[in-house]
């Protein structure tokens, strides 16, 4: 206050070179005349600054701890060079002062305090890490002026994207990833950059890990995985993230909707992840539903034959088995072992329906007898495929079901043979009874019953022959 002439000089500071030269001449006159010591230091520093003697001002203010590197760089930018100077010229002035330990080094904000002092020579010449803003200034200067103008060369690109450049958290990669995306979008880190692809992959994976460790950000983790440059890696990474955090996103309707509609994650990928989660929880019915939705026909078929179908068969849920088996039948060409798996159940149910609905005349009975015998042979082959080392002392559920089916077919064979005899069809009783009881899947009591019937039929046959 009360200094109108100084106010006018401040308003014109950093302007034309003529005004700067006049201020420099004025300071020289004060020194020559010995009046400098009679002028207030603060006022004299203002004249020094307006005259472009930024080094003097920075050296005066350094012990006071009032300048960080950004303010210091700003002084060189506004008062240390002409208004038409390039950014590279400003950086050269600032780095020259830094090399002589006049200016504070370009440290990240979390490393700038306590304030810079002249005793910290090693940190001045070799700081532990440069600030991200300083990296960007170096890059901008190199891009605008080129190396032939004498501008300081840019620092290694990989250093700019290290967490140490902007955060004291070594796992904080968020700002680095967003900065890389911005630079890539304007073509600064394009295909010509040798390490751009490797750097992008490293930052994407690091930021992705950070989001996953934070928890509750699966939807954005999937979005980030979709930014991976290589298509093959991107697909595998998205599937891995979706599967790994399935329990989190599947419990949130909003997150699931965002994955489906916002990110357009294929429904098959989401269903495959839910199937894996259901398998971990040993919820076979839910897993089967999601396997079918994901188009995993082979895995759905194996799950049905090995776990679900035997349980549902013993519980009497035959319609559910048929519904799933019919759905799988349309993709049987893609299913290994279909003829001895799902087709066994469909053939069994179709044969039961045929036996109930078809009229009991000779042709139908002969067809039924042939189908009974064929299916009985397929049952034995199916048991060998799905349960080859089954112990008779502790049969598995599939083995129990195959025994039930074999017993039912054997009884139906006997009944069918009796109906054919009543119609006058000649059938070898001995061969027929042996065929009915030869399946290794038949329980011992059923075999014994068939052999008892065989003995009775032989006795009747011998009695008739003796009468004749």
**Residue 442 CB neighbour total at 10 angstroms:** 20
Q: What is the pLDDT of residue 407?
A: 82
Please give the Cα distance from 372 to 347 (Å, whole number).
10
Taking the C-alpha atoms of residue 403 and residue 425, their distance in angstroms, rounded to an integer, is: 29
Residue written as token pair 């038409």: 84
Q: Is 286 exposed, middle or buried (0-12, 13-18, 19+ CB in 10 A)?
A: middle
Residue 103: alpha-carbon gap to chain centroid: 47
Compute the distance between CA of residue 69 and CA of residue 223 in angstroms, rounded to an integer. 37
Tokens of 165: 């450049």
Cα gap 116→131, rounded to integer Å? 15
Tell me, what's the pLDDT at 424? Answer: 61
Q: How far apart are CA 92 and CA 106, in angstroms?
A: 13
Q: 416: which residues sit within 8 A by CB, 6+ positions away?
A: 365, 368, 369, 372
Predicted pLDDT of residue 118:
46
284-294 vs 267-280: helix axis angle to the nearest 10?
Answer: 160
Q: Pick from 206, 228, 208: which is nearest to 218 by CA?
A: 208
As a three-state string, the secondary structure of 369-388 is: HHHHHHHHHHHHHHHHHHCC
Whole-angstrom Cα distance, residue 324 to residue 305?
11
Q: d(Cα 73, Cα 96) in Å, to the nearest integer?
A: 11
What's the pLDDT score for residue 257?
95
Structure tokens at 266: 């294929």
Averages of pLDDT over runs of 10 residues in the chain (468 residues) are: 67 66 77 76 80 85 82 89 85 88 86 56 62 89 64 72 89 92 78 69 92 92 91 90 95 94 95 95 94 95 92 92 94 91 91 81 77 83 74 70 84 74 57 51 58 56 59
Cis peptide before 7 (omega within 30 of 0): no
CA dihedral defined by 132, 134, 140, 142, rounded to 10 degrees? -120
Q: How many residues does the chain have?
A: 468
């Amino acid at each position: 206050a009360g200094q109108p002439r100084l106010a006018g000089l401040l308003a014109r500071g950093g302007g034309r070179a003529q005004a700067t030269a006049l201020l420099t001449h004025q300071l020289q006159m004060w020194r020559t005349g010995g009046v400098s010591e009679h002028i207030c230091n603060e006022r004299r520093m203002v004249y020094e600054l307006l005259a472009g003697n930024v080094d003097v001002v920075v050296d005066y203010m350094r012990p006071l701890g009032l300048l960080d590197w950004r303010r210091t760089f700003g002084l060189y930018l506004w008062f240390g060079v002409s208004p038409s100077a390039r950014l590279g010229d400003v950086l050269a002035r600032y780095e020259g002062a830094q090399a002589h330990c006049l200016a504070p080094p370009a440290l990240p904000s979390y490393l700038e305090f306590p304030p810079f002092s002249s005793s910290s020579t090693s940190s001045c010449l070799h700081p532990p890490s440069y600030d991200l803003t300083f990296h960007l200034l170096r890059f901008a200067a190199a891009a605008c002026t080129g190396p032939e103008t004498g501008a300081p060369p840019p620092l290694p690109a990989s250093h700019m994207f290290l967490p140490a450049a902007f955060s004291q958290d070594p796992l904080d990669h968020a700002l680095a990833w967003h900065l890389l995306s911005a630079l890539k979008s304007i073509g600064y880190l394009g295909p010509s950059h040798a390490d751009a692809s490797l750097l992008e992959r490293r930052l994407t994976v690091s930021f992705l890990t950070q989001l996953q460790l934070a928890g509750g950000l699966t939807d954005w983790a999937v979005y980030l995985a979709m930014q991976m440059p290589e298509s093959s890696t991107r697909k595998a990474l998205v599937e891995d993230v979706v599967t790994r955090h399935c329990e989190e996103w599947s419990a949130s309707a909003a997150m699931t909707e965002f994955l489906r509609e916002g990110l357009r994650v294929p429904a098959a990928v989401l269903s495959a992840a839910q199937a894996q989660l259901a398998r971990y929880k040993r919820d076979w019915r839910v897993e089967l539903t999601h396997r079918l939705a994901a188009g995993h026909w082979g895995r759905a078929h194996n799950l049905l034959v090995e776990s679900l179908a035997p349980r549902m068969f013993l519980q009497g849920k035959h319609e559910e088995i048929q519904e799933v088996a019919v759905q799988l039948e349309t993709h049987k060409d893609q299913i290994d072992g279909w003829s001895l798996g799902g087709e066994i159940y469909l053939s069994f149910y179709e044969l039961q329906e045929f036996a109930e609905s078809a009229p009991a005349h000779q042709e139908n009975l002969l067809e039924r007898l042939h189908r009974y015998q064929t299916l009985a042979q397929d049952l034995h082959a199916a048991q060998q495929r799905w349960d080859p080392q089954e112990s008779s002392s502790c049969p598995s559920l599939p083995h129990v079901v195959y025994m039930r089916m074999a017993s039912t077919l054997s009884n139906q064979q006997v009944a069918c043979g009796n109906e054919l005899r009543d119609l006058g069809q000649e059938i070898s009783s001995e061969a027929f009874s042996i065929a009915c009881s030869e399946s290794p899947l038949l329980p011992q009591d059923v075999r014994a019953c068939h052999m008892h019937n065989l003995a009775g039929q032989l006795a009747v046959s011998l009695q008739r022959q003796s009468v004749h």
